A and B are shown apart, each in its own frame.
Chain A
Protein backbone atom coordinates (compact mmCIF):
# COMPACT_ATOMS: atom_id res chain seq x y z
CA UNK A 1 0.00 0.00 0.00
CA UNK A 2 1.30 3.44 -0.81
CA UNK A 3 1.24 5.92 2.05
CA UNK A 4 2.34 9.54 2.26
CA UNK A 5 5.47 10.42 4.22
CA UNK A 6 5.20 10.78 7.98
CA UNK A 7 2.01 8.76 8.33
CA UNK A 8 1.40 6.53 11.31
CA UNK A 9 -0.20 3.13 11.66
CA UNK A 10 -3.54 4.66 12.55
CA UNK A 11 -3.57 6.32 9.11
CA UNK A 12 -3.05 2.92 7.55
CA UNK A 13 -6.02 1.48 9.46
CA UNK A 14 -8.24 4.30 8.21
CA UNK A 15 -6.93 3.99 4.67
CA UNK A 16 -7.70 0.27 4.69
CA UNK A 17 -11.18 1.06 6.00
CA UNK A 18 -11.80 3.67 3.32
CA UNK A 19 -10.28 1.95 0.30
CA UNK A 20 -10.23 -1.83 0.79
CA UNK A 21 -13.28 -2.66 2.89
CA UNK A 22 -16.54 -2.85 0.99
CA UNK A 23 -19.24 -3.89 3.46
CA UNK A 24 -20.14 -3.15 7.09
CA UNK A 25 -19.78 -6.88 7.87
CA UNK A 26 -16.18 -6.86 6.72
CA UNK A 27 -15.50 -3.66 8.61
CA UNK A 28 -16.58 -5.09 11.94
CA UNK A 29 -14.22 -8.03 11.42
CA UNK A 30 -11.37 -5.51 11.33
CA UNK A 31 -12.23 -2.47 13.41
CA UNK A 32 -14.23 -1.70 16.50
CA UNK A 33 -14.95 2.00 16.32
CA UNK A 34 -11.75 3.38 14.88
CA UNK A 35 -9.50 0.90 16.67
CA UNK A 36 -8.44 -2.58 15.80
CA UNK A 37 -10.94 -5.10 17.10
CA UNK A 38 -10.04 -7.43 20.00
CA UNK A 39 -8.65 -10.74 18.80
CA UNK A 40 -6.63 -9.27 15.94
CA UNK A 41 -2.88 -9.30 16.40
CA UNK A 42 -1.00 -6.53 14.61
CA UNK A 43 2.64 -7.07 13.72
CA UNK A 44 5.13 -4.60 12.40
CA UNK A 45 7.93 -6.47 10.68
CA UNK A 46 7.12 -9.57 12.75
CA UNK A 47 7.10 -7.66 16.03
CA UNK A 48 4.03 -7.08 18.19
CA UNK A 49 2.88 -3.53 17.49
CA UNK A 50 2.62 -2.95 21.23
CA UNK A 51 6.44 -2.85 21.28
CA UNK A 52 6.51 -0.32 18.45
CA UNK A 53 4.07 2.34 19.64
CA UNK A 54 0.83 0.78 18.34
CA UNK A 55 -1.30 3.27 16.38
CA UNK A 56 1.31 6.01 16.69
CA UNK A 57 4.07 3.95 15.04
CA UNK A 58 5.53 6.01 12.19
CA UNK A 59 5.46 3.97 9.00
CA UNK A 60 8.79 3.40 7.24
CA UNK A 61 9.46 2.53 3.65
CA UNK A 62 9.03 -1.23 3.01
CA UNK A 63 7.48 -1.99 6.39
CA UNK A 64 5.61 -5.28 6.48
CA UNK A 65 2.41 -4.93 8.50
CA UNK A 66 0.61 -8.19 9.32
CA UNK A 67 -2.91 -8.57 10.70
CA UNK A 68 -3.74 -12.00 12.00
CA UNK A 69 -6.64 -13.37 14.06
CA UNK A 70 -6.23 -15.17 17.32
CA UNK A 71 -7.19 -18.81 16.87
CA UNK A 72 -9.12 -20.68 19.54
CA UNK A 73 -9.83 -24.17 18.23
CA UNK A 74 -8.05 -27.19 19.58
Chain B
Protein backbone atom coordinates (compact mmCIF):
# COMPACT_ATOMS: atom_id res chain seq x y z
CA UNK B 1 0.00 0.00 0.00
CA UNK B 2 2.81 2.34 0.86
CA UNK B 3 4.40 1.64 -2.54
CA UNK B 4 1.20 2.50 -4.25
CA UNK B 5 0.93 5.83 -2.56
CA UNK B 6 4.51 6.63 -3.51
CA UNK B 7 3.62 5.81 -7.10
CA UNK B 8 0.60 8.04 -6.87
CA UNK B 9 2.73 10.85 -5.55
CA UNK B 10 5.26 10.35 -8.30
CA UNK B 11 2.52 10.45 -10.87
CA UNK B 12 1.07 13.58 -9.33
CA UNK B 13 4.51 15.15 -9.34
CA UNK B 14 4.89 14.26 -13.02
CA UNK B 15 1.56 15.90 -13.77
CA UNK B 16 2.47 18.98 -11.78
CA UNK B 17 5.72 19.28 -13.66
CA UNK B 18 3.86 19.08 -16.95
CA UNK B 19 1.35 21.62 -15.69
CA UNK B 20 4.19 23.89 -14.73
CA UNK B 21 5.77 23.56 -18.16
CA UNK B 22 2.51 24.27 -19.89
CA UNK B 23 1.89 27.35 -17.81
CA UNK B 24 5.41 28.64 -18.42
CA UNK B 25 4.89 28.13 -22.13
CA UNK B 26 1.59 29.97 -21.98
CA UNK B 27 3.18 32.93 -20.28
CA UNK B 28 5.95 32.90 -22.85
CA UNK B 29 3.45 32.94 -25.72
CA UNK B 30 1.56 36.22 -25.57
CA UNK B 31 -0.76 35.43 -28.50
CA UNK B 32 -2.47 32.66 -26.61
CA UNK B 33 -5.12 34.35 -24.54
CA UNK B 34 -7.63 31.66 -23.69
CA UNK B 35 -6.94 28.10 -22.67
CA UNK B 36 -8.51 25.41 -24.80
CA UNK B 37 -11.68 25.00 -22.84
CA UNK B 38 -11.58 21.23 -22.76
CA UNK B 39 -14.94 20.14 -21.43
CA UNK B 40 -13.56 17.02 -19.90
CA UNK B 41 -10.94 18.49 -17.57
CA UNK B 42 -11.80 18.86 -13.94
CA UNK B 43 -11.51 22.35 -12.54
CA UNK B 44 -8.64 21.69 -10.13
CA UNK B 45 -6.53 19.28 -12.20
CA UNK B 46 -5.45 20.46 -15.62
CA UNK B 47 -4.79 17.19 -17.39
CA UNK B 48 -2.46 17.06 -20.39
CA UNK B 49 -4.67 14.53 -22.17
CA UNK B 50 -8.40 14.20 -22.65
CA UNK B 51 -10.20 11.53 -20.66
CA UNK B 52 -10.75 9.65 -23.92
CA UNK B 53 -7.00 9.66 -24.51
CA UNK B 54 -6.29 8.27 -21.03
CA UNK B 55 -8.56 5.38 -21.85
CA UNK B 56 -7.35 4.90 -25.39
CA UNK B 57 -3.65 4.94 -24.59
CA UNK B 58 -3.76 3.65 -20.99
CA UNK B 59 -2.49 0.19 -21.85
CA UNK B 60 0.70 1.56 -23.34
CA UNK B 61 1.14 4.45 -20.87
CA UNK B 62 1.33 2.06 -17.93
CA UNK B 63 4.33 0.36 -19.56
CA UNK B 64 7.43 1.67 -17.75
CA UNK B 65 9.33 2.22 -21.01
CA UNK B 66 6.63 4.52 -22.36
CA UNK B 67 4.68 6.28 -19.57
CA UNK B 68 2.60 9.42 -19.68
CA UNK B 69 5.61 11.40 -20.73
CA UNK B 70 6.17 9.12 -23.73
CA UNK B 71 2.52 9.49 -24.69
CA UNK B 72 2.83 13.27 -24.69
CA UNK B 73 5.88 13.01 -26.90
CA UNK B 74 4.00 10.75 -29.31
CA UNK B 75 1.15 13.23 -29.34
CA UNK B 76 3.38 16.10 -30.33
CA UNK B 77 5.35 14.04 -32.89
CA UNK B 78 5.05 14.39 -36.65
CA UNK B 79 6.09 11.27 -38.53
CA UNK B 80 6.37 10.85 -42.29
CA UNK B 81 5.87 7.40 -43.76
CA UNK B 82 7.19 7.12 -47.31
CA UNK B 83 5.37 4.26 -49.04
CA UNK B 84 1.99 2.84 -48.00
CA UNK B 85 2.76 -0.73 -49.06
CA UNK B 86 3.81 -3.88 -47.25
CA UNK B 87 6.02 -2.04 -44.74
CA UNK B 88 4.09 1.21 -44.55
CA UNK B 89 0.67 -0.31 -43.86
CA UNK B 90 1.41 -2.03 -40.55
CA UNK B 91 3.76 0.77 -39.48
CA UNK B 92 1.03 3.35 -40.14
CA UNK B 93 -1.62 1.30 -38.38
CA UNK B 94 0.36 0.91 -35.17
CA UNK B 95 1.64 4.49 -35.14
CA UNK B 96 -1.88 5.79 -35.62
CA UNK B 97 -3.21 3.49 -32.91
CA UNK B 98 -0.41 4.62 -30.60
CA UNK B 99 -1.50 8.25 -30.91
CA UNK B 100 1.27 9.89 -32.92
CA UNK B 101 -0.07 13.44 -33.29
CA UNK B 102 0.51 13.92 -37.02
CA UNK B 103 1.25 11.28 -39.63
CA UNK B 104 2.13 12.01 -43.23
CA UNK B 105 1.83 9.41 -45.97
CA UNK B 106 3.61 9.58 -49.33
CA UNK B 107 2.47 7.24 -52.10
CA UNK B 108 1.41 7.94 -55.66
CA UNK B 109 0.20 4.44 -56.39
CA UNK B 110 -3.30 2.99 -56.43
CA UNK B 111 -4.44 -0.17 -54.68
CA UNK B 112 -4.17 -3.35 -56.73
CA UNK B 113 -5.65 -6.68 -55.76
CA UNK B 114 -2.15 -8.19 -55.75
CA UNK B 115 -1.24 -5.85 -52.86
CA UNK B 116 -3.86 -7.12 -50.46
CA UNK B 117 -2.05 -10.15 -49.07
CA UNK B 118 0.38 -7.83 -47.31
CA UNK B 119 -0.83 -4.25 -47.47
CA UNK B 120 -3.28 -4.53 -44.62
CA UNK B 121 -4.75 -1.03 -44.67
CA UNK B 122 -6.23 -1.62 -48.10
CA UNK B 123 -9.10 -3.91 -48.97
CA UNK B 124 -11.28 -5.25 -51.76
CA UNK B 125 -13.42 -2.16 -51.39
CA UNK B 126 -10.50 0.20 -52.00
CA UNK B 127 -8.98 -1.49 -55.05
CA UNK B 128 -8.31 1.24 -57.62
CA UNK B 129 -8.30 3.99 -55.00
CA UNK B 130 -5.12 5.97 -54.21
CA UNK B 131 -3.20 4.14 -51.50
CA UNK B 132 -2.98 7.46 -49.64
CA UNK B 133 -6.76 7.78 -49.56
CA UNK B 134 -7.36 4.13 -48.78
CA UNK B 135 -4.88 4.29 -45.89
CA UNK B 136 -6.25 7.57 -44.59
CA UNK B 137 -9.77 6.17 -44.53
CA UNK B 138 -8.72 3.14 -42.54
CA UNK B 139 -6.58 5.17 -40.13
CA UNK B 140 -9.37 7.68 -39.47
CA UNK B 141 -11.62 4.78 -38.54
CA UNK B 142 -9.00 3.47 -36.15
CA UNK B 143 -8.13 6.72 -34.41
CA UNK B 144 -9.85 9.99 -35.30
CA UNK B 145 -7.56 11.92 -32.94
CA UNK B 146 -4.59 11.54 -35.27
CA UNK B 147 -4.08 14.09 -38.03
CA UNK B 148 -3.33 12.28 -41.30
CA UNK B 149 -1.73 14.28 -44.09
CA UNK B 150 -1.55 12.67 -47.52
CA UNK B 151 1.00 13.36 -50.23
CA UNK B 152 -0.30 11.39 -53.24
CA UNK B 153 2.78 12.03 -55.39
CA UNK B 154 5.86 10.08 -56.37
CA UNK B 155 8.63 11.30 -54.08
CA UNK B 156 11.29 12.88 -56.29
CA UNK B 157 14.24 15.26 -56.38
CA UNK B 158 12.04 18.32 -56.73
CA UNK B 159 9.48 17.62 -53.99
CA UNK B 160 11.28 15.58 -51.33
CA UNK B 161 12.47 18.51 -49.22
CA UNK B 162 9.13 20.28 -49.31
CA UNK B 163 7.32 17.11 -48.27
CA UNK B 164 9.77 16.13 -45.56
CA UNK B 165 10.64 19.44 -43.95
CA UNK B 166 7.89 19.68 -41.33
CA UNK B 167 8.23 16.17 -39.94
CA UNK B 168 10.41 15.03 -37.03
CA UNK B 169 11.06 11.48 -38.19
CA UNK B 170 10.96 9.61 -41.51
CA UNK B 171 10.06 5.97 -42.08
CA UNK B 172 11.58 4.64 -45.29
CA UNK B 173 9.04 2.07 -46.50
CA UNK B 174 10.04 2.39 -50.16
CA UNK B 175 11.02 -0.39 -52.50
CA UNK B 176 13.92 0.59 -54.77
CA UNK B 177 17.55 1.54 -54.13
CA UNK B 178 17.13 4.83 -56.03
CA UNK B 179 14.30 6.00 -53.77
CA UNK B 180 16.17 4.85 -50.68
CA UNK B 181 19.18 7.00 -51.59
CA UNK B 182 16.88 9.95 -52.32
CA UNK B 183 15.01 9.64 -49.01
CA UNK B 184 18.31 9.24 -47.20
CA UNK B 185 19.97 12.27 -48.74
CA UNK B 186 17.03 14.59 -48.11
CA UNK B 187 16.60 13.37 -44.53
CA UNK B 188 20.31 13.79 -43.81
CA UNK B 189 20.37 17.29 -45.31
CA UNK B 190 17.28 18.26 -43.29
CA UNK B 191 18.69 16.61 -40.16
CA UNK B 192 15.97 13.97 -39.71
CA UNK B 193 16.39 10.50 -38.29
CA UNK B 194 15.25 7.65 -40.56
CA UNK B 195 13.79 4.32 -39.52
CA UNK B 196 14.56 2.08 -42.47
CA UNK B 197 13.02 -1.28 -43.31
CA UNK B 198 13.04 -3.62 -46.28
CA UNK B 199 12.19 -7.16 -47.19
CA UNK B 200 11.63 -9.70 -49.93
CA UNK B 201 10.60 -13.36 -50.08
CA UNK B 202 11.15 -14.63 -46.53
CA UNK B 203 13.60 -12.10 -45.10
CA UNK B 204 13.61 -8.56 -43.82
CA UNK B 205 16.05 -5.93 -42.60
CA UNK B 206 15.68 -3.08 -40.13
CA UNK B 207 17.91 -0.17 -39.18
CA UNK B 208 17.96 3.38 -37.85
CA UNK B 209 19.86 5.82 -40.04
CA UNK B 210 21.24 9.30 -39.38
CA UNK B 211 20.16 8.99 -35.74
CA UNK B 212 20.13 12.51 -34.32
CA UNK B 213 22.56 13.47 -37.08
CA UNK B 214 25.26 11.45 -35.34
CA UNK B 215 24.49 7.92 -36.51
CA UNK B 216 25.57 6.49 -39.88
CA UNK B 217 23.35 7.05 -42.91
CA UNK B 218 22.37 4.82 -45.86
CA UNK B 219 25.38 6.03 -47.83
CA UNK B 220 27.71 5.25 -44.91
CA UNK B 221 26.49 1.65 -45.09
CA UNK B 222 26.25 1.51 -48.88
CA UNK B 223 28.51 4.07 -50.58
CA UNK B 224 27.97 2.40 -53.98
CA UNK B 225 24.65 1.02 -55.21
CA UNK B 226 24.27 -2.71 -55.88
CA UNK B 227 24.42 -3.91 -59.49
CA UNK B 228 20.88 -3.65 -60.90
CA UNK B 229 20.65 -7.37 -61.72
CA UNK B 230 21.11 -8.18 -58.02
CA UNK B 231 18.07 -6.16 -56.95
CA UNK B 232 14.88 -8.13 -56.40
CA UNK B 233 11.53 -6.36 -56.11
CA UNK B 234 8.51 -7.87 -54.34
CA UNK B 235 6.74 -8.07 -57.69
CA UNK B 236 9.51 -10.29 -59.11
CA UNK B 237 10.84 -12.20 -56.12
CA UNK B 238 7.58 -12.33 -54.23
CA UNK B 239 7.14 -11.85 -50.50
CA UNK B 240 5.26 -13.60 -47.72
CA UNK B 241 2.80 -11.04 -46.33
CA UNK B 242 3.49 -11.38 -42.60
CA UNK B 243 7.25 -11.30 -43.18
CA UNK B 244 7.19 -7.80 -44.61
CA UNK B 245 4.42 -7.00 -42.11
CA UNK B 246 6.67 -7.98 -39.24
CA UNK B 247 9.39 -5.64 -40.49
CA UNK B 248 6.85 -2.81 -40.80
CA UNK B 249 5.71 -3.56 -37.25
CA UNK B 250 9.30 -3.50 -36.01
CA UNK B 251 9.69 -0.13 -37.74
CA UNK B 252 6.73 1.20 -35.74
CA UNK B 253 8.42 0.00 -32.54
CA UNK B 254 11.65 1.77 -33.47
CA UNK B 255 9.71 4.93 -34.38
CA UNK B 256 8.01 4.91 -30.97
CA UNK B 257 11.39 4.42 -29.29
CA UNK B 258 13.02 7.25 -31.23
CA UNK B 259 10.17 9.67 -30.58
CA UNK B 260 9.88 8.88 -26.88
CA UNK B 261 13.60 9.27 -26.35
CA UNK B 262 14.58 5.72 -25.56
CA UNK B 263 17.77 6.17 -27.59
CA UNK B 264 20.19 8.96 -26.78
CA UNK B 265 23.19 10.16 -28.75
CA UNK B 266 25.35 8.50 -26.08
CA UNK B 267 23.47 5.19 -25.94
CA UNK B 268 22.67 4.71 -29.62
CA UNK B 269 24.62 1.90 -31.28
CA UNK B 270 24.39 1.62 -35.08
CA UNK B 271 22.71 -1.66 -35.96
CA UNK B 272 21.19 -3.73 -38.72
CA UNK B 273 18.68 -6.40 -37.80
CA UNK B 274 18.06 -9.33 -40.09
CA UNK B 275 14.82 -11.25 -39.73
CA UNK B 276 14.46 -14.63 -41.39
CA UNK B 277 11.12 -16.40 -41.46
CA UNK B 278 12.55 -19.71 -42.67
CA UNK B 279 13.54 -22.39 -41.84
CA UNK B 280 13.39 -21.45 -38.16
CA UNK B 281 12.36 -17.88 -37.44
CA UNK B 282 15.30 -15.83 -36.29
CA UNK B 283 16.24 -12.24 -35.63
CA UNK B 284 19.92 -11.41 -35.66
CA UNK B 285 21.08 -7.92 -34.79
CA UNK B 286 24.45 -6.90 -36.14
CA UNK B 287 26.66 -4.20 -34.71
CA UNK B 288 27.35 -1.79 -37.54
CA UNK B 289 29.91 0.85 -38.48
CA UNK B 290 29.49 4.45 -37.38
CA UNK B 291 29.34 7.51 -39.61
CA UNK B 292 31.86 7.30 -42.43
CA UNK B 293 34.31 10.21 -42.54
CA UNK B 294 34.16 9.87 -46.33
CA UNK B 295 30.36 9.84 -46.63
CA UNK B 296 29.17 11.94 -49.57
CA UNK B 297 26.18 13.32 -47.69
CA UNK B 298 26.53 13.10 -43.89
CA UNK B 299 30.23 13.63 -43.18
CA UNK B 300 32.10 16.87 -42.66
CA UNK B 301 33.58 16.20 -46.11
CA UNK B 302 30.15 15.90 -47.69
CA UNK B 303 29.88 17.05 -51.27
CA UNK B 304 26.21 16.46 -51.84
CA UNK B 305 23.91 19.44 -51.27
CA UNK B 306 20.21 20.27 -51.36
CA UNK B 307 20.76 22.30 -54.53
CA UNK B 308 22.32 19.33 -56.26
CA UNK B 309 19.35 17.15 -55.36
CA UNK B 310 16.69 19.71 -56.24
CA UNK B 311 18.28 20.74 -59.53
CA UNK B 312 18.43 17.12 -60.62
CA UNK B 313 22.24 17.15 -60.76
CA UNK B 314 22.04 14.00 -58.65
CA UNK B 315 20.31 11.50 -60.91
CA UNK B 316 19.26 8.65 -58.63
CA UNK B 317 18.01 6.35 -61.39
CA UNK B 318 21.23 6.72 -63.33
CA UNK B 319 23.26 6.25 -60.13
CA UNK B 320 21.51 2.96 -59.38
CA UNK B 321 21.18 1.97 -63.03
CA UNK B 322 18.83 -0.64 -64.36
CA UNK B 323 19.08 -3.97 -66.09
CA UNK B 324 19.42 -3.50 -69.84
CA UNK B 325 16.91 -5.87 -71.39
CA UNK B 326 17.20 -4.30 -74.78
CA UNK B 327 19.75 -6.81 -76.01
CA UNK B 328 18.06 -8.24 -79.09
CA UNK B 329 17.09 -6.67 -82.39
CA UNK B 330 13.61 -5.34 -81.64
CA UNK B 331 12.45 -5.71 -85.28
CA UNK B 332 13.79 -9.04 -86.40
CA UNK B 333 14.41 -11.07 -83.28
CA UNK B 334 11.09 -10.62 -81.51
CA UNK B 335 7.53 -11.67 -82.22
CA UNK B 336 4.17 -10.52 -80.87
CA UNK B 337 1.87 -13.00 -79.18
CA UNK B 338 -0.69 -12.74 -81.97
CA UNK B 339 1.97 -13.35 -84.64
CA UNK B 340 3.02 -16.41 -82.67
CA UNK B 341 -0.52 -17.84 -82.55
CA UNK B 342 -0.90 -17.51 -86.30
CA UNK B 343 2.35 -19.37 -87.04
CA UNK B 344 1.94 -22.66 -88.90
CA UNK B 345 5.00 -24.20 -87.26
CA UNK B 346 5.00 -23.38 -83.57
CA UNK B 347 8.44 -24.91 -83.05
CA UNK B 348 9.78 -25.33 -79.56
CA UNK B 349 8.35 -23.03 -76.86
CA UNK B 350 10.79 -22.38 -74.04
CA UNK B 351 9.52 -20.78 -70.81
CA UNK B 352 12.36 -19.15 -68.84
CA UNK B 353 10.44 -18.06 -65.72
CA UNK B 354 11.54 -19.39 -62.32
CA UNK B 355 10.11 -22.84 -61.64
CA UNK B 356 7.71 -21.55 -58.94
CA UNK B 357 6.07 -19.39 -61.57
CA UNK B 358 6.00 -22.12 -64.21
CA UNK B 359 4.24 -24.28 -61.68
CA UNK B 360 1.48 -21.68 -61.17
CA UNK B 361 0.49 -21.72 -64.84
CA UNK B 362 2.13 -22.39 -68.19
CA UNK B 363 1.26 -22.74 -71.85
CA UNK B 364 0.52 -26.30 -73.01
CA UNK B 365 3.60 -27.97 -74.49
CA UNK B 366 6.04 -25.36 -73.22
CA UNK B 367 9.38 -26.49 -71.83
CA UNK B 368 10.73 -24.97 -68.61
CA UNK B 369 14.34 -23.87 -68.18
CA UNK B 370 14.57 -20.90 -65.79
CA UNK B 371 16.85 -18.07 -66.97
CA UNK B 372 19.18 -18.47 -63.99
CA UNK B 373 19.65 -22.12 -64.88
CA UNK B 374 20.10 -21.35 -68.56
CA UNK B 375 22.92 -18.94 -67.71
CA UNK B 376 24.73 -21.65 -65.79
CA UNK B 377 24.19 -24.73 -67.95
CA UNK B 378 26.22 -26.53 -70.64
CA UNK B 379 25.12 -27.29 -74.18
CA UNK B 380 24.38 -30.96 -73.36
CA UNK B 381 21.70 -29.75 -70.91
CA UNK B 382 19.85 -28.18 -73.84
CA UNK B 383 19.58 -31.28 -76.01
CA UNK B 384 15.75 -31.22 -75.77
CA UNK B 385 15.54 -27.84 -77.51
CA UNK B 386 15.09 -27.50 -81.26
CA UNK B 387 14.58 -24.74 -83.82
CA UNK B 388 12.63 -22.66 -84.49
CA UNK B 389 12.83 -21.74 -80.85
CA UNK B 390 10.38 -19.32 -79.22
CA UNK B 391 11.06 -17.95 -75.77
CA UNK B 392 8.51 -16.70 -73.31
CA UNK B 393 8.64 -15.23 -69.81
CA UNK B 394 6.28 -13.21 -67.63
CA UNK B 395 6.60 -9.75 -69.16
CA UNK B 396 9.00 -10.14 -72.08
CA UNK B 397 12.20 -8.97 -70.38
CA UNK B 398 14.01 -12.11 -69.24
CA UNK B 399 13.07 -13.77 -72.54
CA UNK B 400 15.33 -11.28 -74.34
CA UNK B 401 18.25 -12.08 -72.07
CA UNK B 402 17.60 -15.78 -72.66
CA UNK B 403 17.44 -15.31 -76.45
CA UNK B 404 20.79 -13.56 -76.44
CA UNK B 405 22.28 -16.31 -74.29
CA UNK B 406 21.00 -19.06 -76.62
CA UNK B 407 22.23 -17.26 -79.70
CA UNK B 408 25.64 -16.15 -78.48
CA UNK B 409 26.63 -18.93 -76.15
CA UNK B 410 24.90 -21.98 -77.58
CA UNK B 411 24.77 -21.11 -81.28
CA UNK B 412 21.01 -21.25 -81.85
CA UNK B 413 19.99 -19.22 -84.88
CA UNK B 414 16.23 -19.37 -85.28
CA UNK B 415 15.38 -17.84 -81.93
CA UNK B 416 12.67 -15.30 -81.21
CA UNK B 417 11.12 -14.12 -77.98
CA UNK B 418 7.51 -13.21 -77.32
CA UNK B 419 6.92 -9.48 -76.80
CA UNK B 420 5.04 -8.81 -73.55
CA UNK B 421 5.34 -12.41 -72.40
CA UNK B 422 2.54 -14.36 -70.77
CA UNK B 423 1.05 -11.14 -69.48
CA UNK B 424 0.39 -10.10 -73.07
CA UNK B 425 -0.80 -13.63 -73.85
CA UNK B 426 -3.44 -13.33 -71.18
CA UNK B 427 -4.51 -9.85 -72.30
CA UNK B 428 -4.56 -10.43 -76.03
CA UNK B 429 -4.96 -14.11 -76.77
CA UNK B 430 -6.57 -15.98 -73.90
CA UNK B 431 -8.12 -14.12 -70.98
CA UNK B 432 -8.60 -17.37 -69.07
CA UNK B 433 -4.84 -17.61 -68.66
CA UNK B 434 -4.04 -16.44 -65.10
CA UNK B 435 -2.14 -13.23 -64.45
CA UNK B 436 -0.56 -13.45 -61.03
Listed in ascending order, the chain A residues whose CB lies under 8 Å from chain B are 22-23, 25-26, 28-29, 32, 37-39, 41, 43, 46-48, 50-51, 66, 68-74
* A69 (CB) vs chain B CBs: closest residue: B230
A38 near B224: Cβ-Cβ < 8 Å = yes
Chain B residues contacting A73 (CB-CB under 8 Å) are 86, 175, 198-200, 232-234, 237, 239, 244
Known A-B contacts A46-B284, A74-B87; A39 and B376 likewise in contact (beta carbons under 8 Å): no
Minimum CB–CB distance from A24 to chain B (whole Å) comes to: 9
Chain A residues contacting B175 (CB-CB under 8 Å) are 72-74
B234 near A70: Cβ-Cβ < 8 Å = no
Interface assignment of B274: CB less than 8 Å from any CB of chain A: yes
Known A-B contacts A38-B225, A39-B225, A39-B226; A74 and B86 likewise in contact (beta carbons under 8 Å): yes
A48 near B230: Cβ-Cβ < 8 Å = no
B232 near A72: Cβ-Cβ < 8 Å = yes
5 A-B pairs within 8 Å (CB atoms) are namely A51-B287, A70-B198, A72-B226, A72-B233, A74-B85
Chain A residues contacting B197 (CB-CB under 8 Å) are 74
B286 near A72: Cβ-Cβ < 8 Å = no
A25 near B287: Cβ-Cβ < 8 Å = no
B289 near A74: Cβ-Cβ < 8 Å = no
Known A-B contacts A23-B376, A50-B289; A74 and B244 likewise in contact (beta carbons under 8 Å): yes
Interface assignment of B176: CB less than 8 Å from any CB of chain A: yes
* A40 (CB) vs chain B CBs: closest residue: B226
Known: A46-B285, A71-B203. 10 other contacts (CB 8 A): A25-B375, A28-B227, A38-B224, A38-B225, A39-B231, A46-B287, A48-B272, A72-B198, A72-B200, A74-B173
Once bound together, how far apart are the Cα atoms of A26 and B376, in whole Å? 9
B286 near A74: Cβ-Cβ < 8 Å = no
Once bound together, how far apart are the Cα atoms of A28 and B177, in whole Å? 19
Within 8 A of A (CB), among B271-288: 272, 274, 284-288
Known A-B contacts A25-B375, A26-B376; A39 and B232 likewise in contact (beta carbons under 8 Å): no
Chain A residues contacting B108 (CB-CB under 8 Å) are none
Chain A residues contacting B230 (CB-CB under 8 Å) are 29, 37, 39, 69
B225 near A71: Cβ-Cβ < 8 Å = no
Interface assignment of B137: CB less than 8 Å from any CB of chain A: no
A72 near B180: Cβ-Cβ < 8 Å = yes
Once bound together, how far apart are the Cα atoms of A69 and B85, in whole Å? 22
Known A-B contacts A39-B225, A39-B230; A74 and B174 likewise in contact (beta carbons under 8 Å): yes
Within 8 A of A (CB), among B198-216: 198-200, 203-205
* A22 (CB) vs chain B CBs: closest residue: B376
B376 near A74: Cβ-Cβ < 8 Å = no
User: Of A29, A48, A71, which contacts B287 at CB under 8 A?
Assistant: A48
User: Of A26, A32, A72, which contacts B231 at CB under 8 A?
Assistant: A72
